Chains A and B, each alone.
Chain A
Amino acid sequence: MLAFRRTISVLFSAAVALIASRLAIDVFFADGIDFVDYIRIALCAATAAWIAWGASLGVGGLIGGKMKTPPRASLSESGLSARTAILIPVYNEDPRETFSSALAMANSLAQTDHADLFDIVILSDSRNESVVAEEEEWFRKLHADMPRQVGAFYRRRTDNAGKKAGNIGDFVRRYGARYTYMLILDADSLMEGETIIEMLRRMEAEPKLGLLQSLPKIIESESWFARALQFSAGLFSPIYTRGLARMQGSEGPFWGHNALVRTEAFAESCGLPALSGRPPFGGHILSHDYVEAALLARKDWIVRVDYDLEGSFEEGPQNTVDFAKRDRRWCQGNLQHIRLLFAPGIKAWNRFTFLQGVMAYVSSPLWMMFIVASVVAPLFAPEPDYFPSPYLPAMFPKAETALAVTLLVGVGGLLIGPKLLIALRSGLTGEARRFGGFVQVFWSTLMEVVWSSILAPITLMYQSRSVMQVVLGMDGGWPASNREGHYLSLEDAFRASWWISLTGILMLAGAHFFAPDLFYWLMPIAVPQIISPFLISVTSSRTSGRVASALGLFQTVEEFSRAAIMIEKDQVLARWRPETVSADISEAEGGIESATDNQPDLSGVKG
Chain B
Amino acid sequence: MTNRIEENHTEAEISRYLPDAAPLPMPEQVIERAGFVSRIVSALVPPLQSIPGLRSLRS
Binding site for B on A (CB under 8 A): 119, 121, 136, 139, 143, 151-159, 169, 172-178, 263-264, 266-273, 275-278, 281-282, 291, 295, 338-344, 469, 471-477, 595-596, 598-602, 605-607
CA distance A340 to B33 in the complex (A): 8
Chain B residues with Cβ below 8 Å from A596 are 5, 16
Nearest chain B residue, comparing its CB with the CB of A122: B17
Q: Which of B2, B14, B26, B38 contacts A607 (CB 8 A)?
A: B2
Pairwise interchain contact B29-A176, C-beta atoms closer than 8 A: no
Residues of A with C-beta under 8 A to B24: 172-173, 175-177, 263-264, 267
Does A151 lie within 8 Å of B3, measured CB to CB? Answer: yes
Against A, the Cβ 8 Å flags (1 = close, 0 = not) of B12-27 are: 1111111111111111
Contacts of A272 in B (CB 8 A): 28-29, 31
Q: How far is the CB of A173 from chain B (nearest CB, A)?
A: 5
Asked if A273 and B12 make an inter-chain contact with CB atoms under 8 angstroms apart, the answer reads: no
Given contacts A159-B12, A272-B28, A607-B3, contact A178 B56 (CB under 8 A): no
Contact partners of B58 in chain A: CB under 8 A: 475, 477
Smallest beta-carbon distance A141→chain B, Å: 13
B56 to chain A, nearest CB (A): 5
Task: Judge whether B1 and A178 touch: CB under 8 Å.
Answer: yes
A158-B12 in contact (CB<8A):
yes
Q: Is the CB of B54 within 8 A of A473?
A: yes
Complex Cα distance, B12 from A153, in Å, reads 17
Cβ–Cβ contact A269 & B57, under 8 A: no
Q: How far is it, in angstroms, between the C-alpha of A273 and the C-alpha of B33 when the chains are bound?
A: 13
Q: A473-B49, A477-B57 are in contact. Are A602 and B42 (CB under 8 A)?
A: no
Decide: A151 near B1, CB < 8 A? Known: A269-B29, A472-B51.
Answer: yes
Is there an interface contact between B42 and A277, defined as CB atoms closer than 8 Å? yes
* A178 neighbours in B (Cβ, 8 Å): 1, 19-20, 22
A332, chain B: closest CB distance, angstroms:
10
Closest Cβ of chain A: how far from B11's Cβ, in Å? 8
Question: With A176-B24, A177-B24, A339-B41 as given contacts, are A473 and B55 in contact (CB-CB < 8 Å)?
Answer: yes
Contact B57 A271 (CB under 8 A): no
Decide if A151 touches B19 in the complex (CB within 8 Å).
Answer: yes
Contact of B32 among A119, A177, A275, A600 (CB under 8 A): A275
Given contacts A156-B14, A602-B17, A607-B4, contact A473 B28 (CB under 8 A): no
Chain A residues with Cβ below 8 Å from B14 are: 156-158
Query: Within the assembled complex, what's the spacing in Å between the Cα atoms of A159 and B5?
Result: 20
25 A–B pairs (Cβ distance < 8 Å), ordered by A? A151-B3, A154-B17, A154-B18, A156-B16, A157-B14, A158-B12, A158-B14, A173-B25, A175-B19, A175-B20, A175-B21, A175-B22, A178-B1, A270-B29, A295-B31, A339-B32, A339-B41, A340-B32, A344-B31, A469-B57, A473-B50, A474-B54, A474-B55, A474-B57, A607-B2
Assuming A139-B16, A155-B16, A595-B5, what are 10 further A-B pairs, CB within 8 angstroms?
A: A119-B1, A158-B11, A173-B25, A174-B23, A277-B45, A281-B45, A338-B41, A343-B31, A473-B48, A473-B50
Closest to A294 in B: B31
Going nearest first, the 8 A-B pairs with the smallest beta carbon separation are A473-B49, A176-B24, A607-B3, A177-B22, A178-B22, A477-B58, A177-B24, A271-B28
Q: In the complex, what's the smallest C-beta–C-beta distance from B46 to chain A, in angstroms?
A: 8
Q: Are B5 and A600 in touch, CB under 8 angstroms?
A: yes
Q: A153-B18, A291-B31 are in contact. Are A172 and B26 (CB under 8 A)?
A: yes
Cβ distance B34 to chain A, nearest Cβ, rounded Å = 9
Q: Inside 8 A of A343's CB, which chain B residues have their CB?
A: 31-33
User: Do A119 and B19 contact each other (CB < 8 Å), given the known contacts A598-B5, A599-B5?
Assistant: yes
B48: chain A residues within 8 A (beta carbon): 471-473
Q: Is the beta-carbon distance between A152 and B17 smaller than 8 angstroms? A: yes
Question: Given A275-B32, A474-B56, A153–B22 Cβ distance below 8 Å?
Answer: no
B57 to chain A: closest CB distance in Å?
5
Interfacial chain B residues near A175, Cβ < 8 Å = 18-24
List A contacts of B29 (CB < 8 A): 269-273, 295
Residues of A contacting B22 with CB < 8 Å? 174-178
Q: Chain B residues with Cβ under 8 A from A605's Cβ?
A: 3
Distance to closest chain A CB from B10 (angstroms): 9
State the CA gap A595–B3 with chains docked (Å): 12
Q: Indicate if the CB atoms of A276 and B32 lie closer than 8 Å.
A: yes
Whether the Cβ atoms of A268 and B27 lie closer than 8 Å is yes
- Using CB atoms, name the residue of chain A closest to B8: A598
What chain A residues lie within 8 Å of B23 (beta carbons)?
Answer: 173-177
Q: Is the CB of A473 within 8 A of B37?
A: no
Q: Does the CB pair B2–A276 fall under 8 Å?
A: no
Using Cβ atoms and an 8 Å threshold, which residues of chain A touch B26?
Answer: 169, 172-173, 176, 266-268, 270-271
Q: CA separation between A472 and B29, bound complex, in Å?
A: 28
CA distance A607 to B19 in the complex (A): 7
Which of chain B's residues have a CB closer than 8 A to the CB of A174? 21-23
Q: A363 CA to B48 CA in the complex, in Å?
A: 21
Q: Are A602 and B51 in contact (CB under 8 A)?
A: no
Please, which residues of chain B bring their CB within 8 A of the CB of A169?
A: 26
Least Cβ–Cβ distance between B58 and chain A, in angstroms: 4
Chain B residues with Cβ below 8 Å from A600 are 2, 4-5
Compute how far the CA of A154 lies from the CA of B57 in the bound complex, rounded to whole angstroms: 31
- Chain B residue at smallest Cβ distance from A470: B48
Inter-chain contacts of A282 with B (CB < 8 A)? 45
Complexed CA–CA distance, A157 and B12 (Å): 7
- Asked if A276 and B17 make an inter-chain contact with CB atoms under 8 angstroms apart, the answer reads no
